[in-house]
Structure 1
Amino acid sequence: MHRRLRIAGALLAVAGLTAVAACGGPAGGGEAPRNQLTILWAADATDLSTDNGLGLQVNAGVHERLAIYDALVALTPTADIEYRLAESLTPDGPTRWTLTLKPGLRFSDGTPLDAAAVKFNWERLADPATKAPSAQIAQQIAGLDVVDERTLAITLKEPNGQFPTLVAQSALTFIGSPTAMQADPAGFGSNPVGAGAYVLKEWVRNDHSVFEKSPTSAIEAPVDRIEVRILADETQRYNTLAAGGGDVDFTINANTAAKAEKAGHQVVTGQTDGGLSLQFNTAKPPFDDVRARRAVALAFDGAALGKSVFSGLVEVPETLMRAESKYFADVPLTRANREQAQALLDELAAEGEPVSFTILTPLNFQQVAEWFQSSVSGYRNLTVQVEAAQTTGQQLFAGDFDATLIGLTRFIDPYPALVNFVSSGGSTNFGKYSDPAVDAAARTIVTSTDEAERIRAFADLQARIAEDLPFAGPFYRMPNWFVLAEGIDAAAVPILNDGVIDLTRFRP
C-alpha cells in the first residue's frame, strides 16, 4: 500500500523547465549513506548566479540556487509567505516596506548577509549595465535605505500591496555575497557564494555538480552532501530511480507517474492552476495578427493530445483557473474547431500571409510539439516546424522565436506569474504582448489591497486573454509528480512554491 499526498501547486516554469531529485547511490556504484542526496535533473542550469529570470520556482537550477543562497522569503504550496533568511517584510504605506533580516547571517566567504548586502544585490539587478533578466522587477524599487545592520527601508515607485509575494517568486529572494560579486563579476555565475546551507564544490557542465555543507551557514540541514546529475532522458531518469540509483524522481509526465504508481511507488502530487501553453511572439509575423493566433489555438486540440500522448491521464482544462480557486472566472478557453481554424488560415493566405512558424520547445515538451506538428499536417496554408533544445532561456529572452511551449502559465498564485506573463514589459512576457485592457487589470491586481477588487480584476484579465490570445491553452494542467523509491515516505519531501523540494529540510 502506498501513500499519496496532494499538494497545492504553483507557477511553473519555464523555459527549459524540468527537474528531478533523488537521494541514493552515487554515480560510480555502491550504496550511499542516507545523509547524501543525489538529484537527477533533465537540464543543467545556464549559470548559478542569483538571477535567471525566474526565482524560487521549478526550473533548471532552482534546487542548486536554494542550496547555495536559500531565500529571503518563499511561497508555500498554499500561497502563504514563509520567512526564511528574512524575519519580516512589513508595509509602512502604499509604497513603503521594511525588511528585517534574521540575526547572525553570513555568506560562505565569511562576510555578513546584512541590509547593505540586500541593497547591493537589488541595486545590481536594477542596474541596466548588468543586463539582469529580472531587471524590470528590481526597477520597481525607487530607493533602498539601510536603517541598521538587519533593517532595510524600501520605497517602491508605485503602490504594491503584494510585494512579499513578488520577492518570494522572483530573483529578489536570492542574495549573493557582494564581495564575491565585485571580485569576479563575470565568473560569479560559475563560482557562486551565498548564505545557504551548502557551498558548490564541483561543477562539470551538463554532467554533474556537487554541494557540501557550508561551515558558516546558520541553517541546519540534515543532508551532508548533495550531488546534481544531469539526465535529459525521461525514461533514463525513471529507470535510474527504479534501479536504486535515486530516491525521488520529479516528473511532469503523467505516463511516468502512472507507471510508477502501478509499480508500487509512493507518488506525491502537486496540482496547480494554468498549465502547458503555447506562447506567441506577437512582435513579429505571423503572430502579430490575432487571426493567426486564433487559427493555431483552434487547431490545437488539447483533448486529443491528452488521449494520444498521455493516455487520457492528464486534466484538460476548460478555464484558466480551477473551479476551487478564489480567482476562478467562468471564461471558457478556446476549444478546438477545425472548420473555424481552416477558415482563418484560408483568409490569411488569400491576403498573401499563409501561416508558417517554428515551435521552440524544451526537451520535456518535445513530444507535445511533435504531436501538434503531426496533427495539423492536413491543414491548408499551415506549416509547422519544431526546434527542440535542452535549454531555451537565451532564445526566449532575446525574442528569437515564433512560438514556444512553456509552463509559465502554471502557478499557485496568479501574481506575479500570470501578470508578468501577459502585461506590457513583464519579465516573462517573451512574446512582447501589449494590450491596454490587460495592463489596466494587471495594475489593479498589483496595487490593490482589496481582495474583492483584485478578484474582479483577475476576471477581467481572463476575459481579455481569452479574446486576444497572447497564448494558446493551457492544453492540460501540469501537476508535479514526485516518484519516491522504497524507504522514502511522502512526508519526508517538504515542498516550496510550485514543487521545489526544500533540500534543507529533506530527511531521508
Structure 2
Amino acid sequence: MPGGTARVLTLSDARSLDPAMLFNAYASTAVLGNALYGTLLTDDPASGEVRYRMAESFTTSDNGTTFELKLRPGLVFSDGTPLDAAAVKYNWDRLKTVPGASAADASLVGSTEVIDPRTLRITLTAPIPKFAQIVVISSMNWIASPAALAAGQQAFDAHPIGAGPFTLERWTRQDAIELVKNPRYWDAPKPYLDRLTLRVALDGGQRLNTVVSGGADVAIESHWWNVSRAAEAGLRTNVMQLSGGVYVALNQRRAPFNDVRARQALAYASDLQALNLAAYNGAGQVADTLFSKQSTFYTDTPLTTPNRDTAQRLFDELAAAGKPVSFTLTVSPTADSKALAEGIQAQLSAFRNVSVQIDVVDHARSAALRTSHDFDAIFSGVFFVDPEPRLWNAFNGQSDANISGVNDEALNTDLQAARTATGEAERKALYAAVQQRLAELVPVIFLVRAAPSALAGKNVGGLVQYGNGSLLPEELWIRR
C-alpha cells in the first residue's frame, strides 16, 4: 500500500553522504546510498545475472576491454537537472581520486568518453568481461549531481543531490537520517513509502527486539542467530545465499604473518564449528569451503582442517626460531564480530607460544586500516554469487583491494585466467585450483558465510536485496 513511514535500523553510521564515502554492502551504508542515489544496475540474488535500472544497457563487444553504458531517457536528479552520461563520467572519474570504498574499483577504468547524452564509453586498464558486477557491488552504482559535489563536502552533506527514490530532509549525526519521497524518481509509482527514518543499532538483540515490539519496521541484519529468532517470531526475513564469507585477513606485509607457518598454525588451531556455536548459537553456516553448496563452482575441498597437534608444533617451531606468534585482531563493534573475536582468543589460549589482543574499532577506522594496511589481523570478507570480480579483487597480487597482501604467482595466474575465461567448465576448473591454493597459502581464514539479511514486521513487504546485501528502499511498503 502506498504511503507511510518506514523506520529502518542499520549497522553502520555514515561519515558523509558523498557516494564515494558510502559502502555498498549490508554491513555498512548500502540502503542509504540506494535511497539517495538509486541504482544503475542490480543483479538477481540467486543467479548473479545483471538487471538494468537507471542504465538501459551495459555491453562489451571485445570480451571486456571496452564497454558502453546506455542510460534510460529522461533521467533527472532531484533538483531537476539531467542525469546524463557526463554526470556518470564525472562521478566515475572522481571516484579514483577520493579515498573511499570504491577507489580501487574505479581505478580499473583507464578512460571514459561521452558519446552522446545517454551513452558513456569506458576503456578498462585490462579486460574484465564481468565488469558490470563491479558496478553492481560498488559505489560506482551511485551517481550524484556533479554541481552539488563540486560545492564541497560540507555543502553536499547538507544538501545531497541524487536521483534516488528519496531525498534528505534532516541528518542529525549520531541519531537519525530522515528522508522523504523524491517526486522526480524515474520509476513511478515507486517509492511506495512517503518517508524513511534510518537509525544505527549495533546491538543484535536490540535490533531484533525493536522490530518485534513494533519500535522499528525494518532491520538490516548480519547475525545468523537473529535471523533464526526472527523467523521463529513470525517476522518477514530476506537472506541472501552467498559464497565466500567473513574471514580474518592475515597481513603478510609484516610479522608474524609474513611467515606462512604462522598463518597455517592459526588455521589448524581454528575450530569453526565451535566458533559458530559461540557467536551464533550454532545457527550460522560455517565457511569450510570457498563456494556454497548452492554454487555451480562448489567443490568439497576444505579450506581449513582443525589439527591441534600440528598447530602446536608450528607455534613451538616459530618460538624456537625467535618468532613467537603475538598479534592484534582488529574487529568492528557489532556483537557477532566481537563474539567471533572472543571465540578465537579463547581457542588460542589453549596453545603455547601464541597470544592475541582484540582491538574494537568503528567501521570508519576499520576501513582506513584496510587501506593503510596498518594491522596484524582484521575481520573482513568476500561475498558473491559469481566469483568474478570479488575473488580477483581479494587475492590477486595486483589488486589494490587485496587486504592480506598475498602475492603468489600460481594464484595470480589462475585468478587472471578465470577472470577472462568464458566457458563454465574452464572457469570451474580454474576456481577449484584457486581454492586449493588458498588452502595452502592461508592469506585469510574463512569463518562463516555472511548473512546479508533484512528483517521486517509482519505488515511490511518488499524486502528486496541485490549485490552484497544491498536493500532497495523503493520496494518497501507497509500495510496500514
Q: CA offset at residue 151 of structure 1?
A: 1.0
Match of 2:240 among 229, 246, 270: 270
Match of 2:294 among 304, 324, 334: 324
| Bigger Cα displacement from structure 2, 103-112 vs 181-190 | 181-190
The CA distance in 1 between the partners of 2:94 and 2:469, in whole Å, is 28
Q: CA offset at residue 502 of structure 1?
A: 1.2
Cα deviation 1:225-246 (Å, max 9, x = unaligned):
1110122211111121121112
Q: CA offset at residue 298 of structure 1?
A: 1.1
2:258 match: secondary structure = coil
Give TM-score scaled by structure 2 length. 0.92
The CA distance in 2 between the partners of 1:161 and 1:239, in whole Å, is 44
Q: CA offset at residue 187 of structure 1?
A: 5.0
The CA distance in 2 between the partners of 1:328 and 1:432, in whole Å, is 25
The CA distance in 2 between the partners of 1:186 and 1:453, in whole Å, is 50
- The match for 1:152 is 120
The CA distance in 1 between the partners of 2:170 and 2:423, in whole Å, is 48
Match of 2:389 among 416, 430, 433: 416
- The amino acid that maps onto 1:149 is P
Residues 151, 261 of structure 1: CA spacing in aligned structure 2 closer, same or farther, 3 A cutoff? closer
Residues 354, 270 of structure 1: CA spacing in aligned structure 2 closer, same or farther, 3 A cutoff? same
- The amino acid that maps onto 2:123 is T
- The match for 2:10 is 41
CA contact (8 A) 1:319 1:331 kept: yes
- Unaligned regions of 5+ residues in structure 2, if any? none
Q: CA offset at residue 389 of structure 1?
A: 2.0
The CA distance in 2 between the partners of 1:158 and 1:68, in whole Å, is 32
Q: CA offset at residue 133 of structure 1?
A: 4.1
Match of 1:476 among 444, 448, 453: 448
- The match for 1:451 is 424
The CA distance in 2 between the partners of 1:429 and 1:204, in whole Å, is 35
- The match for 1:140 is 108
Residues 132, 249 of structure 1: CA spacing in aligned structure 2 closer, same or farther, 3 A cutoff? closer
Q: What is the RMSD computed on CA atoms of the aligned residues?
A: 2.1
- The match for 2:373 is 399
Residues 206, 445 of structure 1: CA spacing in aligned structure 2 closer, same or farther, 3 A cutoff? farther
Q: How does 1:309-388 map to 2 (within 5 A)?
A: 309-364=279-334, 365-388=337-360
1:461 lines up with 2:434 in the alignment: yes
| Bigger Cα displacement from structure 2, 261-270 vs 232-241 | 261-270
| Bigger Cα displacement from structure 2, 200-209 vs 76-85 | 200-209
- The match for 1:29 is none
The CA distance in 1 between the partners of 2:236 and 2:39, in whole Å, is 29
CA contact (8 A) 2:131 2:389 kept: no
1:122 match: secondary structure = helix
Residues 467, 102 of structure 1: CA spacing in aligned structure 2 closer, same or farther, 3 A cutoff? same
Match of 2:56 among 87, 95, 99: 87
The CA distance in 2 between the partners of 1:459 and 1:186, in whole Å, is 48
Q: CA offset at residue 378 of structure 1?
A: 2.2
- Unaligned regions of 5+ residues in structure 1, if any? 1-22, 24-32
CA contact (8 A) 1:53 1:170 kept: no
Q: CA offset at residue 353 of structure 1?
A: 0.9
CA contact (8 A) 1:134 1:427 kept: no
1:113 lines up with 2:109 in the alignment: no
Residues 188, 420 of structure 1: CA spacing in aligned structure 2 closer, same or farther, 3 A cutoff? farther
1:462 match: secondary structure = helix
The CA distance in 1 between the partners of 2:109 and 2:460, in whole Å, is 43
Q: CA offset at residue 36 of structure 1?
A: 0.7
The CA distance in 2 between the partners of 1:227 and 1:383, in whole Å, is 43
The CA distance in 2 between the partners of 1:332 and 1:477, in whole Å, is 14
Q: CA offset at residue 386 of structure 1?
A: 0.6
CA contact (8 A) 1:42 1:234 kept: no
- The amino acid that maps onto 1:402 is D
1:122 lines up with 2:92 in the alignment: yes
CA contact (8 A) 1:48 1:61 kept: no
Residues 253, 203 of structure 1: CA spacing in aligned structure 2 closer, same or farther, 3 A cutoff? same
CA contact (8 A) 2:249 2:377 kept: yes
- The match for 1:210 is 178
- The match for 1:3 is none
Match of 2:251 among 275, 281, 284: 281
- The match for 1:233 is 203
The CA distance in 2 between the partners of 1:189 and 1:450, in whole Å, is 46
1:174 lines up with 2:174 in the alignment: no
Q: CA offset at residue 401 of structure 1?
A: 1.4
1:385 match: secondary structure = strand
CA contact (8 A) 2:66 2:124 kept: yes
- The amino acid that maps onto 2:463 is V
The CA distance in 1 between the partners of 2:455 and 2:104, in whole Å, is 37
Give TM-score scaled by structure 1 length. 0.87
Aligned residues: 470
Q: CA offset at residue 192 of structure 1?
A: 2.8
CA contact (8 A) 1:249 1:483 kept: yes
Residues 236, 438 of structure 1: CA spacing in aligned structure 2 closer, same or farther, 3 A cutoff? same
Residues 35, 495 of structure 1: CA spacing in aligned structure 2 closer, same or farther, 3 A cutoff? same
- The amino acid that maps onto 1:409 is V
| Bigger Cα displacement from structure 2, 183-192 vs 367-376 | 183-192
Residues 427, 194 of structure 1: CA spacing in aligned structure 2 closer, same or farther, 3 A cutoff? farther
- The match for 1:64 is 32
Q: CA offset at residue 432 of structure 1?
A: 2.3
The CA distance in 2 between the partners of 1:59 and 1:139, in whole Å, is 24
Residues 110, 147 of structure 1: CA spacing in aligned structure 2 closer, same or farther, 3 A cutoff? same
2:411 match: secondary structure = helix
2:474 match: secondary structure = coil
Residues 60, 309 of structure 1: CA spacing in aligned structure 2 closer, same or farther, 3 A cutoff? closer
Residues 44, 469 of structure 1: CA spacing in aligned structure 2 closer, same or farther, 3 A cutoff? same
- The match for 1:498 is 468
